[in-house]
């Protein structure tokens, strides 16, 4: 019956309903060449007209987020033709212009507003997406009625945020290759024990001379590593040495940082495992040093 009524309406001078898809080419892919919105002070806008009958059913926009954060998309519609139908009470509804926000990498639809949404037929729509990673996002604006036409204004805003860490395990784990088959019986070659030599045993080599241990407290110097560095208010550096009283160190011992000028110090705050000291050298000179040399009493 509908196919009969449409030609009849056209013959009587009525409104002709477009029978095409709304695109100039049946196999057109407008999402491959979207209009790129350049963010200026984290905001951008675009205005355009849509007209289903004139093969201008949809418009694709793209926005490149410079970092992780929140993307806000606002759309305002000014209808020029078409109808959104009637409510149950008989009130005329405005046309509905659909809106989608698409991930430019995975092509997943992140947010949308269509005839099934709560804000269907609203002339102002807004969608906000939080914690988005850096990258390109597409905004798809399209007409849903064949007689619809409208002027559309789109505004996008970006607020930088912190990136949320997400584990990609086990995406980066390599697949285990086929394992070698294990025979039911051990087929490894039998280990042969070495033959024991015959004849008289050769004389044992003489023992090396032993050197007696030096008496404790005999002076000398030791080297130790730096476990932590902190800037000092005077412009110098506070260092923490990975050695303490259990290693023979004590408060008052003198030392210096190996290979660093103005790095002489006296130990203080010694515990069983660490000691601290303050040097005049800047923290950039101390960073990456080979360690400290401490003179023993």
> Structurally, how many domains does the chain consist of?
2
pLDDT score recorded for residue 208: 63
Is residue 147 domain-resident? Answer: yes
pLDDT digits (tens, 9 = 90+) for 70-129: 999 999 999 988 776 666 776 777 889 999 999 999 999 999 999 899 998 899 999 999
Does this model's pTM top 0.75? My answer is no
Which residue segment(s) compose the domain that 77 sits in? 35-160
Is residue 178 domain-resident? Answer: no
Instruction: Name the residue with higher pLDDT: 240 or 23.
Output: 240
pLDDT digits (tens, 9 = 90+) for 257-268: 988 888 899 999
41 shares a domain with 156:
yes
pLDDT digits (tens, 9 = 90+) for 151-193: 999 999 999 987 666 777 777 777 777 877 877 787 778 888 8
Is residue 210 domain-resident? Answer: no
End-of-domain residue from the set 145, 160, 175: 160
Is residue 247 domain-resident? Answer: yes
CA 103, 107, 111, 113: dihedral to nearest 10 degrees? 130
Say which residue the tokens 């037929």 belong to. Answer: 121
What average pLDDT does the chain have? 84
Examine residue 138 and say whether the peptide bond preceding it is cis (omega within 30 degrees of 0).
no
233 shares a domain with 136:
no
Q: Does 26 have pLDDT greater than 60?
A: yes
For residue 2, report the phi and psi dihedrals to the nearest 5 degrees: -65, -40
Instruction: Name the residue with higher pLDDT: 220 or 55.
Output: 55
Q: In 3D, which of 72, 62, 87, 79 has the Cα closest to residue 125?
A: 72
């Amino acid at each position: 019956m509908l196919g009969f009524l449409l030609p009849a309406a056209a013959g009587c001078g009525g409104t002709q309903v477009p029978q095409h898809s709304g695109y100039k080419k049946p196999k057109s892919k407008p999402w491959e060449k979207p209009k790129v919105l350049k963010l200026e002070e984290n905001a951008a806008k675009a205005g355009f007209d849509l007209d289903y009958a004139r093969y201008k059913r949809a418009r694709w926009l793209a926005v490149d987020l410079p970092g992780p954060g929140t993307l806000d998309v606002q759309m305002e519609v000014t209808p020029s033709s078409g109808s959104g139908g009637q409510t149950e009470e008989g009130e005329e509804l405005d046309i509905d212009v659909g809106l989608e926000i698409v991930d430019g990498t995975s092509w997943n639809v992140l947010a949308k507003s269509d005839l099934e949404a709560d804000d269907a037929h609203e002339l102002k729509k807004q969608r906000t997406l939080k914690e988005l990673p850096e990258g390109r996002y597409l905004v798809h604006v399209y007409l849903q009625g064949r007689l619809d036409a409208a002027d559309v204004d789109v505004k996008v805003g970006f607020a930088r945020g912190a990136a949320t860490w997400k584990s990609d395990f086990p995406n980066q784990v390599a697949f285990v290759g086929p394992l070698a088959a294990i025979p039911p019986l051990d087929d490894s070659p039998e280990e042969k024990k070495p033959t024991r030599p015959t004849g008289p045993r050769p004389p044992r080599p003489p023992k090396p001379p032993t050197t007696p241990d030096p008496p404790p407290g005999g002076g000398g110097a030791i080297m130790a590593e730096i476990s932590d560095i902190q800037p000092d208010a005077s412009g110098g550096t506070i260092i923490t040495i990975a050695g303490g009283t259990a290693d023979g160190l004590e408060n008052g011992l003198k030392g210096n940082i190996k290979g660093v000028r103005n790095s002489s110090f006296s130990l203080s705050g010694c515990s069983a495992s660490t000691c601290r000291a303050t040097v005049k050298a800047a923290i950039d000179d101390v960073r990456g040093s080979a360690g400290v040399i401490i003179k023993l009493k």
